[in-house]
Amino acid sequence: MRHYVETIWGWDEEFQLAFHRDNYRPEDTFIIKVEDKSAGTVEVREDEEKIFICSLYIHPDYQGKSIGTSMIKDYLASADLQRKRTDLEVLRLNTRALELYKRLGFVEIIEKGDEVKHYLSRPFDNM
């Protein structure tokens, strides 16, 4: 994500360390493993109405291998079983991820004033 952060805001090491120290919630964060190697992380928060995928990071060596797609599909299936919507946000610069989320049924929530992120939601599937 460093590339996106540098492009949007510039890199400030002290700020980044403080931001992650203040916002990191280990109880909501999971390491994605592929053949016993760390391939990325996902942070998810859940309440009575929704599953919020706070972040999904796939290491560049593992991108393009359907790992992120599989993770999102698993959370969507869980949300459908629980009759919850699934929400997430994505940086506007990350067009590849935005295309994936839209293919998986997410629609943009219109929120004026944010030029940095898209806010997306996908209702549960009534089947």
The structural domain count of the chain equals 1
Q: Is residue 75 part of a domain?
A: yes
Q: Is residue 16 part of a domain?
A: no
- Predicted local distance difference test score (pLDDT) of residue 111: 64
Residues of the chain with pLDDT under 70: 1-9, 111-113, 126-127
One-character DSSP codes across 77-107? HHHHHHT-EEEEEEETT-HHHHHHHHHTT-E
Cβ contact 53:87 at 8 Å: yes
Q: What does the pLDDT look like over 57-76, one tens digit per residue?
A: 999 999 999 999 999 999 99
CATH of the domain at 107: 3.40.630.30
First to last CA, the chain: 36
Alpha carbon distance 57, 39 (integer Å): 8
Residue span of the structural domain in which 55 resides: 26-122
Facing residues of 100 across strands?
A: none
